[in-house]
Amino acid sequence: MIANLVINWNLLYLAMNPEKQDILRKELREVLGVINWNLLYLAMNPEKQDILRKELREVLGSGDLTDEIAANMKSKLPYLRAVIRETHRVAPPSSIMTQRAAPCDLELAGYKVPEGTQVGFNVFSLQNDPKYVEEMRPCQTRFPATRAWSVTGASAYQKAKLPGGTCSLC
């Protein structure tokens, strides 16, 4: 399976013009970073790796990941989804992922912010705030992939949202 993916990837990549290749390289860099963090946390937590391996073997058997399974990942592979989401929470691609201009003069945490000022949000701190998450840096001792995610993949923190109009956590 992996050999076929590599061969198909190389053919697709070579058929692209240089601008598209550049865009694809930049996008893949972030995806590969998240995958690497997933592998690291799973390697540091063999018991979680075993749970994930069991789920993958039950769903995939000895076959490949099909389009149907990939399209229904929430219900078919809930633990894999939980691992990916928990890794992304613990190790986001960037600690300051969103920046917005203040729409008007306002006050944030006692600071006066003039209209048009660029305000950056420390997403890492929000995603690891004990007010919303029961443990502060779980990656040091354990990786609670089932902590915040139900079997359907929905967040236990349904009302939690990222600032500045980015996606919600649910």
Q: What is the mean pLDDT of residues 104-122?
A: 89
Q: What pLDDT digit, counting tens, does each position of 71-86 carry?
A: 777 788 888 888 888 8
Q: Are 55 and 82 in contact (CB under 8 A)?
A: no
Report pLDDT for 12.
66
Burial of 122 (0-12, 13-18, 19+ CB in 10 A): middle
Residue 105 lies in a domain: no
Residue 124 lies in a domain: yes
Q: For residue 114, what are its two tokens? A: 């003039």
Report pLDDT for 117.
93
Residue 113 lies in a domain: no
Residue 149 lies in a domain: yes
Residue 60 lies in a domain: yes
Q: How far apart are CA 38 and CA 83, in angstroms?
A: 7
Burial of 59 (0-12, 13-18, 19+ CB in 10 A): middle
Residue 22 lies in a domain: yes
Q: Which of the four pLDDT bands, split at 50, 70 and 90, describes residue 166?
A: very low
Residue 25 lies in a domain: yes
Q: What is the mean pLDDT of residues 52-75?
A: 81
Q: How many structural domains does the chain have?
A: 1
140: pLDDT strictly greater than 70:
no
Q: Which of the four pLDDT bands, split at 50, 70 and 90, describes residue 104?
A: very high
In angstroms, the Cα distances linking 22 to 26, 27, 59 are 6, 9, 35
Q: How far apart are CA 15 and CA 121, in angstroms?
A: 39
Query: β-strands 106-108, 118-121: how paired?
Result: unpaired
Looking at per-residue pLDDT, the higher value among 69 and 107 belongs to: 107
DSSP state of 120: E
Separate counts of helices (H) and strands (E) for the chain? 7, 4
Q: What pLDDT digit, counting tens, does each position of 26-53 carry?
A: 777 777 777 888 888 888 888 889 999 9
Q: Which of the four pLDDT bands, split at 50, 70 and 90, describes residue 116?
A: very high
Residue 67 lies in a domain: yes
Q: How many CB atoms lie within 10 A of CB 79?
A: 20
Instruction: Find the domain containing 62 and state its range.
Output: 2-95+119-165
Q: How far apart are CA 72 and CA 96, in angstroms?
A: 31
User: Letter for the amino acid at 131?
Assistant: K
Q: For residue 22, what are its two tokens? A: 């550049």
131: pLDDT strictly greater than 90:
no
